[in-house]
């Protein structure tokens, strides 16, 4: 597979999309941006050239099949971040995350794109009991083939996306790396995030590995930094060539002093999905 150069980045107006459209051009990618929300700034090495019809920013909904086809036309790969990123009523999740991801894969198939990187989530397995891990006593890490235990309709939709990716590989030969992202933010802001944090720089490293590794078929990986308090197994991500450089541990003393260690008796601390299992944050729109 020739190294991909032009990438469609869906969800480019969002938190992760903004971080990645800043970080990915350093790897040599030209980006085409897609989001239902307008993207004001045009920085970040977007592609206005061949195949892009001069439209390097596409403001459209994942429900708009024609806009999606036009957006994927001529790109080498798609990084699919767009969708509802919190819990929401099932009808909204159905439209944006389930039908929207189906529409994206259909556009990819129709336009002959060969590689997708899908933003899955730890919430696809959110009801998995978290390992009792501490820096002194690391627990057994959760493998990617652990049974799906979604903690929300949101997590359910990520399991759907992973299975859709599997189907499109087996049926149509379209390769996908599904990344069960932990929490990708500039810094960890909670004790839970010490275990699931992915630094933006490691996020870009992982996307680059997922875009360039040979023969991925459909591969599921967890997305996080090399955290001392890691809960899950990064071996399938490392097999793609991902070498995380960051660890949340330097943030641990201040966060633990402010919030305390995770209390196993607290239901919010019992599962990988944290408070999504008991009191999920609701998508505001």
Ligand X SMILES: NC(=O)c1ccc[n+]([C@@H]2O[C@H](COP(=O)([O-])OP(=O)(O)OC[C@H]3O[C@@H](n4cnc5c(N)ncnc54)[C@H](O)[C@@H]3O)[C@@H](O)[C@H]2O)c1
Assess contact for 275 and 206: CB atoms under 8 A.
no
| CA contacts within 13 A on the Cβ side of 256 | 13
Q: From the candidates 29, 105, 154, 251, give the one annotated as an active-site residue.
A: 154
How far, in Å, are 140, 178, 284 from residue 190 at the CA level? 22, 25, 22
Name the minimum Å distance from CB 47 to ligand X: 19
- Which is closer to ligand X, CB of 10 or CB of 264? 10
* 241-268 burial: b if 16+ Cβ within 10 Å, else e: ebebebbbeebbeebeeeeeebeeeeee
Structure tokens at 10: 């869906």
Residues that bind ligand X (CB under 6 A): 11, 13-17, 35-37, 61-62, 81-85, 96, 100, 119, 121, 181, 183-184
How far, in Å, are 48, 72, 274 from residue 135 at the CA level? 48, 44, 19
Helices 153-172 and 100-111 cross at an angle (nearest 10°) of: 20
- Which is closer to ligand X, CB of 66 or CB of 137? 66
- Which is closer to ligand X, CB of 6 or CB of 121? 121
- Which is closer to ligand X, CB of 11 or CB of 244? 11
Name the minimum Å distance from CB 99 to ligand X: 9
Structure tokens at 70: 């036009």
153 belongs to the catalytic site: no
- Which is closer to ligand X, CB of 17 or CB of 131? 17
**C-alpha–C-alpha distance, residues 117 and 247, integer Å:** 23
Name the minimum Å distance from CB 274 to ligand X: 12
Name the minimum Å distance from CB 121 to ligand X: 4
Assess contact for 9 and 21: CB atoms under 8 A.
yes
Assess contact for 31 and 25: CB atoms under 8 A.
yes
- Which is closer to ligand X, CB of 42 or CB of 49? 42
Which residue of this chain has its Cβ atom nearest to ligand X in the complex? 14
Name the minimum Å distance from CB 22 to ligand X: 13
How many other CB atoms are there within 10 angstroms of residue 5's CB atom?
A: 13
**C-alpha–C-alpha distance, residues 199 and 266, integer Å:** 27
Name the minimum Å distance from CB 12 to ligand X: 7
Active-site annotation, residues: 154
């Amino acid at each position: 597979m020739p190294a991909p150069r032009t990438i469609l980045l869906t969800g480019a107006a969002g938190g992760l999309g903004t971080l990645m459209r800043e970080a990915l051009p350093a790897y040599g990618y030209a980006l085409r941006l897609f989001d239902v929300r307008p993207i004001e700034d045009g920085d970040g090495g977007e592609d206005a050239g061949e195949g892009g019809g001069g439209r390097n920013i596409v403001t459209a909904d994942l429900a708009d099949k024609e806009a999606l086809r036009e957006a994927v036309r001529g790109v080498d790969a798609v990084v699919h971040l767009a969708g509802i990123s919190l819990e929401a009523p099932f009808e909204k999740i159905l439209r944006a995350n389930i039908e929207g991801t189906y529409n994206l894969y259909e556009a990819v198939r129709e336009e002959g794109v060969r590689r997708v990187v899908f933003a899955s989530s730890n919430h696809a397995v959110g009801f998995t009991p978290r390992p009792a891990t501490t820096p002194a006593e690391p627990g057994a890490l959760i493998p990617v083939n652990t049974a799906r235990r979604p903690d929300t309709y949101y997590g359910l939709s990520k399991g759907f996306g992973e299975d859709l990716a599997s189907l499109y590989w087996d049926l149509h030969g379209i390769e996908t790396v599904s990344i069960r992202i932990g929490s990708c933010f500039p810094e960890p802001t909670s004790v839970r995030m010490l275990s699931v944090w992915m630094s933006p720089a490691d996020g870009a490293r992982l996307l680059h590995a997922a875009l360039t590794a040979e023969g991925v078929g459909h591969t599921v990986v967890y997305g996080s930094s090399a955290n001392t308090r890691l809960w899950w197994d990064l071996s399938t991500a490392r097999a793609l060539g991902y070498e995380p450089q960051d660890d949340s541990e330097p943030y641990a003393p201040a966060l633990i002093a402010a919030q305390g260690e995770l209390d196993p008796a607290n239901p919010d601390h019992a599962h990988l999905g944290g408070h999504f299992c008991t009191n999920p944050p609701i998508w505001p729109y």
